[in-house]
Chain A
Amino acid sequence: MASQTSLHPHKDDGAVHAHISSSAFYVAVFMALIALTVLTVGQSYVDLGRLNLIVVILIATTKASLVVSFFMHLRYDNKFNALIFISCIFFIGVFFAYTMNDTERRGELDGDQNVRVLPKTGEDAPGGFVPHAASSGGEHGAAPTGSGAAPAHH
């Protein structure tokens, strides 16, 4: 199961036949990485509003792809190693999605569920909250009382 078996004539000799890139190619990859670094620093002086974060992540991911594909040889490596790497990225995505699906939505469904949850801290989660006698709990969209830390964008 040598890597590159299909590309190499001596596929059965059991020796290691790794892809060897030229020096000029590595220099080109390095120059591209520097150019992208300059680009991302330059971009930081221009306010694109909500696009800022997206542009930053796109540039960083392009740089990361160059490093992984060529410096780390994944482009020419055994495909199973690429599968491990891609699955890892997928599960990082799952980690982000499930966590932020919670942290970004705390307090949104309070009215529907007849509970109140303090945004951010998640205190008094559904099922564990006894409304104060003074408040008329259950109103749709009722702002949580006593949570001075309510985020501005909610």
Chain B
Amino acid sequence: MSSEATANAEEHAHDDHGHHGPKWLAHHFDTPAQQFDAAKLGMWVFLAQELLFFSGLFVAYGVYRSWYPEMFVAASHQLDKIMGGTNTIVLLFSSFTAAMAVRSSQLGKQKATGNYILITIFCACVFLVIKYFEYTHKFHAGLLPGRFFHPHAEHLVAGAPALPANTGSFFSIYFMMTGVHGVHVVIGIGVLIWIWIRNNRGEFSKEFFTPVDIVALYWHLVDLVWIYLFPLLYLI
């Protein structure tokens, strides 16, 4: 939405509409505050949609966990709490740096904003690398969704409870939830790079930091979903 707004602003900056606002102010908004509020409103509606979208997976989790509590406990023992916990801290830290990027942008500190965005992108990549190692272990151990579930005893966690035959349904839920979340992380890296480039071009200022704010909101949502995924999947 913000790119359209900028595009419009640029388009109209060159013709004589009697429009004398800042370059970044789209001509259909009266004031910067109106444009800012409209952008935030749109983003919150989108975030609500994202949460409702994820809620389908959480309901599936709730139904299956309630039906097969012992199977969920046994399957959860095969997940690595240390890797999951590290990823939680990495994401929380990236959320912190995203908030600091917005703060720097609000204060007009272009260089600090860029650096905080870079740290956020770096953390997102670390998250994906750790996730890659986790997934690789699952593939090797045959801890796969549904009918592909065929555990290899030598790769399983020693001393963990035996896995019931229907454990594949836990891993269906595990791979769907973490996979859809992972897709959001990848998209997050993309929009963070986009906002980093725009920041480098000097498009943002104390008066106009909306795109940084909006992208940070998206990144916080990715963190928000993981805050629930980590204890529900790893810490049963």
Contact = CB atoms under 8 A, between A and B. Distances in A.
A41 B80 CA distance: 12
A64 B227 contact: yes
Interface stretch (A97-105, A109-117, A138-146): A97-105
B11 interface: no
Given A72-B217, A84-B44, A16 B223 contact: no
B41 A80 contact: yes
B40 A15 contact: no
Contact of A21 (B30, B41, B103, B216): B103
A74 to B, nearest CB: 8
Interface in B35-54: 36-37, 40-41, 44-45, 47-48, 51-52
Interface string A82-105: 001101110110011001100110
Interface in B215-236: 216-217, 220, 223-224, 227-228, 230-232, 234-236
B92 interface: yes
Interface in B16-48: 30-34, 36-37, 40-41, 44-45, 47-48
Given A67-B223, A92-B51, A26 B36 contact: no
Given A23-B103, A88-B48, A41 B235 contact: yes
A103 to B, nearest CB: 5
A41 B84 CA distance: 10
B172 interface: no
Closest 7 A/B residue pairs (Cβ): A14-B31, A2-B33, A88-B48, A44-B235, A30-B96, A81-B44, A71-B99
